[in-house]
Structure 1
Amino acid sequence: MADLHEVLPHFPHGQYAHLLQAFDRHELTTVDLLTMEIADVGKATQLPLLEIQKLRNAVTDALHRDLGVTGGPSDTETPRRRSLADFTAATSFVSTLDDELDRTLGGGIPTGYITEIAGESGVGKTQFLLLLLLAAQLPPPHGLGRPVLYLSTESSMPTHRLLQMLREHPRFANLPKSARPSLDAIASMDIPDLESQEHIVRFQVPVAIERHNIGLLVIDSVAANYRVEFDRSAAGAKHGSTMAARSKELVRLGTLLRDLAQRFNLAVVVANQVADRFADRFTMPPLAPPTPTPGSWHRMPQESPLASRSKALSPGAVDEELLEPTSSMAERLQFRSSMPEPLGPDDAAEPAPAALAFDHQQRWFTGWGDDPLADHGLKTPSLGLVWSTQLACRIALLKKPVYGVHRLLEDESGEAGGGVPALKSWRRWMKVVFAPHVAPTGQGLEGAVEYEVTRSGLRSVKGAGHTEGDEEEKDN
């Protein structure tokens, strides 16, 4: 890195001599050090990543001093070290325009962080995002008083729905025309694939934020392009290498979004899809399952493949007559056939500790799986644990069906027909899974707030029941 002498003549080269020599051997410049990913620099130079990070920080600080850039936060003033009171005082929030929902979210959607809204189709993720696009344009304390940017990976921005919210929401109707949110303050971009996403987020989005003073960045949804790209490439590549490449892309996206959120003090909100979790047929039941009471039934918890792999397989747990034998099964069956019979209680393989099971760990970062007796299907947010580590806040939207009785028409003989159960409506809840400014909710729906999707957006449900005619037939 010989050009460092020209860029920073007074830089202390001596203490970094061993690192600079490696850069010179691989013909890397100061620009490469500042712009390339740390992992890529380490791969090229075979240097420890921590040492490369220290060199990059030293060069960056020297450039700031040389250019007269001051006022940066010290190490003790970083957001990670701030107390809750300091966080609330220094952070602006985008309101949901509903007092109960805002209380559940700790004031709304915070600026300076990445917030994810995860839920299945039809739960109202897109409706939530559209409402935030309008609310962010309001002056404080309900909004930021700044324009917004909407990035879509699936379809174009639903302007007709935004206009409907503008007309129907009571908070907007009482405002003077000059203070009302406008579609003119919403910039939108379509992201058809990962290559376009990388270019848009890295180059075009920062320019748009600076030029238009953007206060809210929305991505709907973050998982779509990754599912298309890596599910398609997995057919012709090894699964492990594909997942490693996807993890690298997720970390890169998280780094870019966090930098934008902190550098421009804007709120970054992404929608995420979820996947079903199915019980694995190799999964062992608990050692001491709850004893069903008369008139009740016990449902085994749903588990992911990762959870079932973390548990030991005990003899007799699998009925081989129901399974198609594989090479790995053949080895297990051969091992089991060589064991002495009969087996006593002490001969069973000891299961892995429950604390190491994925189903036990995921309750703190997915929003599902923390209720062992849930009567609804369990989900897992897409993109896995790697993406979860990139987030500061995750909001889970859950829904459960409400069934009624559909009366059949009278038959030809004039006798009244019976009734059959039919889907009547849906109930929806919002819960905070983790966040830097609000405590997470408890198991299942404990601490969650029920809401409904109406013509004016989202609102909390007060009291028992609500009118079905005010719901949107299509929420997402």
Structure 2
Amino acid sequence: MTDLSRVLPGFPTAQYAGLLPALENNKVTTAELLTLDIADLGKRTKLPLLDLKRLCNAVLEALHVDLGVSEKQPDKPSALKQTASDLAQRWSTISTLDESLDQALGGGVPTGYVTEIVGESGAGKTQFLLTMLLAVQLPPPHGLGRPALYISTEAPLSTTRLAQMLRRNPFFKDLDKKPTLDRIMSTATPDLESQEHILQYQVPVQVERHNVGLIVLDSVAANYRAEYERGGSLGSNMAARSADLIRMGHLLHDLARRHNLAVVVANQVMDRIPSSHSGGGTPGLFAIKSSVAATPKQPPRLALPRALAAPPGAEPTSSLADMVGVRSSMPEPPPEDPPAPASLLLDHQNRWVTGWGDDPYADPNHFKTPTLGLVWSTQIASRIALLKRPVYGRKEIIEDEDLPGGGVALRNWRRWMKVVFAPHVPGTGQGLDGAVEFEVNMGGLKSIEKDKE
């Protein structure tokens, strides 16, 4: 079939070799095989109904086994019948090496899922990822005791910064077995073609060979933006880009679930311009139209023939149509459709999945939105937004012997971590309500206590 090898890579296709070519020629998908009536499939493919029914049952049973809900696995309890203690034993996370940040994340970044770290440039995304490359090597409960794989699409892996974290983070001082840079594998994908090849063929081999516990992709949007937004042709390539994103999301999720590892991707943001329907921000076309219509303006005077001119002393008419007594033969334009309710607009729905805009008192002109759109948002399980704001007024001076320029730096940004959505922990409240403020220091990430504000 068209997608059977992608949905069930281990399905025994040799037993049904006589059926698959006809299904492939008629473009029958796995979902259609399981949902359509057998008689309809037989008319469409001209295949025996009994053989189609056997194939449907085999595919359905293979899906049950793949999801862990099959009753034919006595040695493995069904996922639908597992207790809370069974799920707790399988649950594992990778720590951020900070107690407050871990508490907001429900213990850390979970394995078996695809997690996204999104934020502006300088918000701390790379620092977050580098910390996890070291933390995954720690034994449970802070790590998995496994190596990490770093895939870069922009800048190469900063080994100098990793060595600095190892030396300055207080969490590593008293450890007998510290993380090492030797257990961090890295590769670069300068374009979309090499990225797809590495993710599909090379990464699975490395994961099985070295028992990788963490895959980091920094960043997920760089190659897609360079490939599909070139020359302003994003609209014509939207369908192809959406298909590529869905395929990559399925591949990353399959790696995370099959090998019980964590997949963490960094994403960029772009400015979001509010439309006129959203009720905020810069006025749009409708506001311009209303302002023009509200301005009283005299219509231009028309030169009429002498026979149609009004006689002296006659009262002025209201319009040319009333004066002439005729109507246009052209059909009247249909009335405009009423605007959609605010709850159905994209601007309203984006605020609940992007991390920006859910604060009713925020300035809509400063909203951001993660790149790759809603299609990519459906491919990830968790989204963690890193927000930053400038510090106005007197700047705080930091003295550190490892800093260049005499050991003095200026702190002029405040940063927060916010859980937008996740399957294992509730999301943060509106705006910065419930978000954890943190700073980036020589050892990595460190939360700021509220009493110090």
The answer, yes or no, to whether TM exceeds 0.5 is yes
| TM-score computed with the length of structure 2 as normaliser | 0.72
Question: Which of 244, 260, 268 is the equivalent residue of 1:265?
Answer: 260
Shift of 1:232: 1.5
Runs of at least 5 residues in structure 2 that lack an aligned partner in the other structure: 2-10, 36-51, 72-76, 295-331, 396-409
Question: Match for residue 371 of structure 1?
Answer: 359
Written as runs of structure 1 = structure 2, the 5 A alignment for 1:40-439 is: 44-47=25-28, 50-52=31-33, 73-74=68-69, 87-176=87-176, 179-232=177-230, 234-235=232-233, 239-280=234-275, 283-284=276-277, 286=279, 300-301=280-281, 313=286, 316-317=289-290, 319=292, 350-375=338-363, 377-404=366-393, 425-439=412-426
Q: What SS does structure 1 have at the residue aligned with 2:434? A: coil
**C-alpha spacing 1:432/1:156, structure 2 compared with 1 (3 Å):** same
Question: How many percent of aligned residue pairs carry the same amino acid?
Answer: 53
Runs (4+) of structure 1 exceeding 6 A deviation are 53-57, 61-65, 76-85
Of the structure 1 ranges 218-227 and 364-373, higher mean CA displacement relative to structure 2 is found in 364-373
Rounded Cα–Cα distance in structure 2 between residues aligned with 1:94 and 1:148: 11
| Contact 2:68-2:79 within 8 A present in 1 as well | no
Shift of 1:73: 1.4
Shift of 1:155: 1.2
| One-letter amino acid matched to 1:372 | P
Shift of 1:352: 1.6
| One-letter amino acid matched to 1:226 | Y
Q: Deviations over 1:329-350 (max 9, x none)?
A: xxxxxxxxx89xxxxxxx9974
Runs of at least 5 residues in structure 1 that lack an aligned partner in the other structure: 29-40, 287-299, 322-337, 340-346, 407-422, 467-476
Q: Deviations over 1:425-445 (max 9, x none)?
A: 111110111111001111101
**C-alpha spacing 1:365/1:103, structure 2 compared with 1 (3 Å):** same
Rounded Cα–Cα distance in structure 2 between residues aligned with 1:267 and 1:220: 14
| Contact 2:152-2:188 within 8 A present in 1 as well | yes
Q: What SS does structure 1 have at the residue aligned with 2:412? A: strand
Rounded Cα–Cα distance in structure 1 between residues aligned with 2:78 and 2:368: 34
Question: Match for residue 37 of structure 1?
Answer: none
Of the structure 1 ranges 149-158 and 44-53, higher mean CA displacement relative to structure 2 is found in 44-53
| Contact 1:96-1:135 within 8 A present in 2 as well | yes
Question: Match for residue 414 of structure 1?
Answer: none
| One-letter amino acid matched to 2:359 | D
Rounded Cα–Cα distance in structure 2 between residues aligned with 1:388 and 1:429: 21
Rounded Cα–Cα distance in structure 2 between residues aligned with 1:129 and 1:168: 17
Rounded Cα–Cα distance in structure 2 between residues aligned with 1:6 and 1:110: 34
**C-alpha spacing 1:258/1:160, structure 2 compared with 1 (3 Å):** same
| Contact 1:370-1:443 within 8 A present in 2 as well | yes
Q: What SS does structure 2 have at the residue aligned with 1:404? A: coil
Is residue 2:440 matched to residue 1:440?
A: no
Q: What SS does structure 2 have at the residue aligned with 1:118? A: strand
Shift of 1:173: 1.2
Q: Deviations over 1:299-349 (max 9, x none)?
A: x4579xxxx8xxx9479436499xxxxxxxxxxxxxxxx89xxxxxxx997
Rounded Cα–Cα distance in structure 2 between residues aligned with 1:6 and 1:363: 45
| Contact 1:109-1:115 within 8 A present in 2 as well | yes
Rounded Cα–Cα distance in structure 1 between residues aligned with 2:412 and 2:288: 45
Written as runs of structure 1 = structure 2, the 5 A alignment for 1:11-50 is: 20=19, 23-25=20-22, 44-47=25-28, 50=31
**C-alpha spacing 1:396/1:205, structure 2 compared with 1 (3 Å):** same
Rounded Cα–Cα distance in structure 1 between residues aligned with 2:450 and 2:62: 60
Rounded Cα–Cα distance in structure 2 between residues aligned with 1:284 and 1:6: 52
| Contact 1:120-1:273 within 8 A present in 2 as well | yes
Rounded Cα–Cα distance in structure 1 between residues aligned with 2:282 and 2:82: 38
Rounded Cα–Cα distance in structure 1 between residues aligned with 2:359 and 2:83: 31
| One-letter amino acid matched to 1:445 | L
Higher gyration radius (CA)? 2
Rounded Cα–Cα distance in structure 1 between residues aligned with 2:345 and 2:131: 38
